Chain A
Amino acid sequence: MDKLLHLWQVTGFNQMTPGQGVMILIGMLLLYLAIKKNFEPLLLVPIGFGGVLANIPGAGLAEGNGILHIFYSVGIESGAFPLIIFMGVGAMTDFGPLLANPKTLFLGAAAQFGIFATLMGAVVLAHFGIFDFSLADAAAIGIIGGADGPTSIYVASKLAPDLLGAIAVASYSYMALVPLIQPPIMRALTTESERKIKMVQQRHVSTREKIVFPLLLLILVAFLLPDAAPLLGMFCFGNLMKECAVVDRLSNTTQNSLINTVTIFLGLAVGSKLSADKFLDLTTLGILVLGMAAFAIGTASGVIMAKILNKLIKEPINPLIGSAGVSAVPMAARVTNKLGLESDPHNFLLMHAMGPNVAGVIGSAVAAGILINYVGA
């Protein structure tokens, strides 16, 4: 009888807390969004499943020697997984459109305003005692506006590990929602005639330029902002492997098998942070709202910057490409293209929008470096 009682005591029915129940449902919801609605499935499937695993009562997968906790401490606490992913992203990035029109880097810079405005928003909320955010928390929340999953996870793991689960979920869900969040803002800020602006055909960019660019970027990072060197260093390394074309085997591994392998473990490790005591909190709600604001502000400032540039320089710039400055490669660029085609069915903006798009990746990595430098010091 004792044995039977013991067996009952370890079952889920006996041990389950309401919080764990809710978190398992949230994990299932993420799985539903990923599988049925196709929201960033590559990440939300592992994250959602990890979230369910982490909340199995009594199993302790996300603590102590539990396997998810081991993934977390090996890959995320150390910063390794986001950096490896960034290397893969670098190997998949084509800087051609950016090199053809370097001025689009300004759009990538402007869109980072979303990060800092949100940071300020979080600080203001903390000031009025609505949420209990420290400056480090605020910085980690702001980076959601960078619209770059690995960057968000990297910064959150350094500055606010407690909020990592919510920040990662927010940043990946909003990346999936880019086609819904951005268009209303873009339409509101541009006129029909501005949306019809045709851009000049891009010049051809030679292989030599593409090889030299990552090295140039690396040197600039090394001299100006060593705190961004882990992120941008790996990014440049991945890109150089692709462009130099003598290490195709390494480059293919980086952009395929390696990034996929790491994504599985990264997702599960992020899922392990979806434990009831950390996630079921008003703070999470605050992070979701602020993250949305970060995205919206970033989009708006990118578009406004594009309008300013359009006034300042002779070459016409379609303001729609400004919104692609919030990284989210290549989703944001596709949204730009779609809106451009709505106004003029012959105006293909995709390649023009890829410039600000990859500029946004560089911009948010630079912003991440500054946040880590300022808050971490």
Chain B
Amino acid sequence: MSASNLMTEGLNLMLIGMGFVFIFLTLLVLATTLMSRIITSYEKNVGVLPEEGVSSPTAVISPAMNQSQHANDDKNLITVLSAAIHKFRSGK
């Protein structure tokens, strides 16, 4: 490659390079703005994702946990209710 050829190549690369960086990032700005707009309007209807992320795959286990919790809750409820009834009757 002759010296002047190298200069032209360098100049070409500089113009193409800078031009392309700007085109790419401009497109990215447009795409990002559009994306944000779509998601913001979508989230107005659906609500946002929780900050700590969507529930993990262990979610399969969590309903089972919930069931046992429900069972616990029911037991507590029954205890409280029977205590209340007992008190109500004894009060009479």
**A: which residues have CB within 8 A of B?**
98-99, 102-103, 105-106, 108-109, 112-113, 115-117, 119-120, 122-124, 126-127, 129, 134-135, 138-139, 205-209, 211-213, 216-217, 220, 224-225, 244-246, 359, 362-363, 366-367, 370-371, 374-375
Contact = CB atoms under 8 A, between A and B. Distances in A.
14 contacts: A98-B32, A99-B36, A102-B32, A109-B21, A115-B17, A127-B7, A138-B10, A206-B39, A208-B48, A212-B35, A225-B24, A363-B25, A366-B21, A367-B17
A41 to B, nearest CB: 32
User: Which of B13, B14, B27, B48 has the most chain A CB atoms inside 10 A of its CB?
Assistant: B13
Contacts of A120: 10-11, 14
Nearest to B52: A245
Contacts of B56: 245-246
A207 B25 contact: no
A109 B49 contact: no
B91 interface: no
Interface residues of B, number: 40
A309 B86 CA distance: 76
User: Which of A105, A112, A139, A359 has the most chain B CB atoms inside 10 A of its CB?
Assistant: A105
Given A102-B36, A366-B20, 20 more contacts: A99-B36, A102-B32, A109-B21, A109-B25, A112-B17, A113-B18, A119-B13, A126-B3, A127-B7, A134-B1, A135-B1, A208-B42, A211-B49, A212-B39, A213-B35, A220-B28, A224-B27, A245-B53, A246-B57, A375-B13
Contacts of A220: 24, 27-28, 31
Pairs of residues from A and B, 5 with the lowest C-beta to C-beta distance, nearest first: A245-B53, A123-B10, A109-B25, A116-B14, A207-B49
A359 B25 contact: yes
Nearest to B49: A207
A116 B53 contact: no
Interface in B17-48: 17-18, 20-22, 24-29, 31-33, 35-36, 39-40, 42-43, 48
Interface of A is mostly: helix
Interface of B is mostly: helix
Contacts of B3: 126-127, 129
A141 to B, nearest CB: 12
A374 B16 contact: yes
Nearest to B51: A207
Contacts of B74: none
User: Which of A109, A129, A211, A367 has the most chain B CB atoms inside 10 A of its CB?
Assistant: A109
A206 B53 CA distance: 11
A206 B40 contact: yes
Nearest to B48: A206
B55 to A, nearest CB: 8
A350 to B, nearest CB: 21
B54 interface: yes
B10 to A, nearest CB: 3
